Each structure stands twice: as structure tokens, then as C-alpha cells.
Amino acid sequence: MSKAAELANLIGNINAGGGGVNRNVIINGAMNVAQRGDVTGKTAASYGGPDRFAVGITSHGTYAMSQSSTVPSGKGFANSYKLDCTTADTSVAAGAEVTIQHKFEGQNLQTLRKGTSEAKPITATFYCRSNLTGTFTLELFDNDNSRQCSKNFTISSADTWEFKSITFPADTTGAFDDDNAQSAVLVWWLAAGSDFTSGTQNTSAFASNTNANRVSSSIVNMSSSTDNEFLLTGVQLEVGQNPTSFEHKSFAQDLHECGRYYQLIAHGNALAMGIGCDWNSSTAELCLDHPLGAMRANPTLDQVTGGNYFTYTGGGLSSGIDGAFTIEHQTTVMSAMYATPDDTLSTDGSSRLMKTSNSAAYMAFKAEL
């Protein structure tokens, strides 16, 4: 795109109520933050690889998700989201689904003015790459009002980065709730069964959802071979009918925004987690701030534990913890939890260090949509 065209697009979007800084409502669109690390063996809806992008899998193969350094050349990206088929399924069941999803809080979408006479068109742009050429579907689904619109895109050349720009029309019906719940989801369909493809695809305007009308009947089958992979980066969704250049953010800004939904505390051996205290002779209490700031909701404590995975130590005591930590008191900015160390504690409220003591030990806070 020429500079003149880019400027014209930006001005057009500003006139439409978009443009400017913070125009991209996607979080972590450059795939720079990946707090969970890479994951394998997924056969159902899961997070893994870059933050904020989830995979949806229903009865259709096994997948690995990772943060990849394969990126489009010269576009300013260092990372991409990689979805890799590790167990194939050549038979597409009626309810089969393989998708990549990005979910939105309603309060972050008010700028779209959806459901009003001033509703704005919305443009999605992204870079994608796959060994599998053919037709894919991108859908914007309105969870609050069960409405959707989907558009198709084609990957023409195998193993080659391609830039895609897709504009969804303004929708004057069905406003997004102004709250912290999921109001919409952007969905890249990579495989779909007849439950989603057997109708007439709804491509021209938002309409009440009919599952059969959501996806192209020509869609590829990402699960057809373990050779198959799909990579994605530079994802932007903005108000306006025009694509503008990707709004790059600092790593710190991306990490902070991701932290509203997920915050990794520790993963690995010999990592300090915080200071706990002896609650009674058998219970250690640990109180942790959510270090990246307030979370979307009171978070779930996501943990991997086992024999002596954690150690409570200090004042001459070093006691292993074998079981799970239990959330006891909480706000969106702080969690108090308890665990049961192997040894007898004092009853005087002594403070001790809580740390990991196994390479597989894992603790994080999760408030995903």
C-alpha cells in the first residue's frame, strides 16, 4: 500500500469514528506475549502459545499451539501464533470444528457503536501462512445478541505469508453490553463440519445466527494431515471501512493488557513466589498481589503440583508441599490462598518464603473470557 493510500485510509477511518492510537481492539496482535508457553496434545478448546488467542477443537484431530519465530519479512514482527496438526482426522464429522478465536469484553467494543443508528463498519487485517491452500472463513460473532457475519479469504500460495484485509459491515441491530463479559469473538475457521457449512453462508450483513450459515462449504480441512499448520500474526481489528498499518505496541504494553486475563507467577524450579505465614500448625497462608494489575474478574488459580513441587522455607524449616493451593479470599487485584506443608508449623504467625522446587511446578492467575 502506498503512503498516500495509507494516509487516505487512516483519514477515512478517523472520519468514521476510528483511527488514531489504540485503534486496534485486538490484544497481543503481534503475538509477542506467550505466558503459558507452547502446548501439545490438545483435542478441545484450549489456550497455549501466544496470549489471548485460543483454539477451538471439536471432535477433529489433535493440535499443538506455539509461539513461532516464522514471520512475514520486513513487516516489523518477531513472532507468530502457530497451530500444528499432530493427529489427523480425514473424516469431517457434522459437528467438527477447528478454529482460532480472539474474545472481546463488551466494554472494549463500545466504540463500534453496534446496535445504534451510528454503527460503524469494522475492518480486520492480518498476516497468515499455511502449507494448505484454499478457502478459509473469518467470522465476527456477536455473543450478546447471537448475531454473526462471516467472510472468506483464500491462501493462494503454500508456505508463503499473505496479507488479508476483511471489512465487516456496520450492524445497527443489537448493542454490545457495556460490561466485562464476553460480547464478541473473532473466529478463524480452519475446518468445519456440515453443521456449520450446510446452509447459505451469511456474508453480506450481520444476521441472527444460524449455525449452518456460518462457514463456507468450500472450507479446507486443517486436520487432513499432520503436515498441516497455520500461522498468524499482525492481527488488527479497528473501526472503519479501511485497513491501516498495524499498530505496534511495546512488549510491556502488550504484557500489561494480557495480564487482565492471565498472569504467570512461576513456572520452573527454585523460583520465588512470595512470603507466606503459618496460619496454624498445618496450614500455610500465601497472599499474592496480581503483579500485572487488576484482572477482568476474580481469577482462577491455575497450578501444576505434585510431590514437593513447592517448598515453604525459613526460620530453620524447609517443608515440601505436595497438594494444591486453595483460593480463600480474593479481589481482582489480590489473592489469598492456603496449602498444607508436610511438616508441623508454628502457631505464632511466622513468615517464610514460598518457592517452587520442581521444574514442572506451575502457578498462574486466570480470568479469561
Helix (H, G, I), strand (E, B) or coil at 108: helix
296 belongs to the binding site for other proteins (CB under 8 A): yes
Count of residues in contact with other proteins, rule CB under 8 A = 33
Instruction: Provide the β-strand partners of residue 230.
Output: 83, 130
Among 166, 99, 98, residue whose Cα is nearest residue 126: 166
Which cell goes with 171?
A: 450492524
Among 305, 311, 319, 356, binds other proteins (CB under 8 A): 305
Closer residue to other proteins, CB minimum distance, 313 or 332: 332
Which cell goes with 320?
A: 515440601
268 belongs to the binding site for other proteins (CB under 8 A): no
CB within 8 A of 252, min separation 6: which ones? none
280 belongs to the binding site for other proteins (CB under 8 A): yes
* Least distance to other proteins, CB of residue 135, Å: 32
309 belongs to the binding site for other proteins (CB under 8 A): yes
Max Cα–Cα distance, the chain, nearest Å: 72
196 within 8 A of 218, measured Cβ to Cβ? no
* Least distance to other proteins, CB of residue 55, Å: 16
Report angle CA 149, 152, 156 to the nearest 5 degrees: 165
Among 298, 308, 318, 350, binds other proteins (CB under 8 A): 298
367 belongs to the binding site for other proteins (CB under 8 A): yes
Among 342, 337, 299, 338, residue whose Cα is nearest residue 322: 342
Among 26, 171, 325, 356, binds other proteins (CB under 8 A): 325
The single-letter DSSP state of residue 178 is: S
253: part of which helix (H) or strand (E)? Answer: helix 251-258
Closer residue to other proteins, CB minimum distance, 302 or 342: 302
291 belongs to the binding site for other proteins (CB under 8 A): no
Among 135, 302, 308, 317, binds other proteins (CB under 8 A): 302
Among 20, 306, 315, 349, binds other proteins (CB under 8 A): 306
60 belongs to the binding site for other proteins (CB under 8 A): no
Among 283, 258, 237, 223, residue whose Cα is nearest residue 367: 258
43 belongs to the binding site for other proteins (CB under 8 A): no
Which cell goes with 348?
A: 505464632
Among 11, 88, 212, 327, binds other proteins (CB under 8 A): 327
303 belongs to the binding site for other proteins (CB under 8 A): yes
* Least distance to other proteins, CB of residue 284, Å: 10
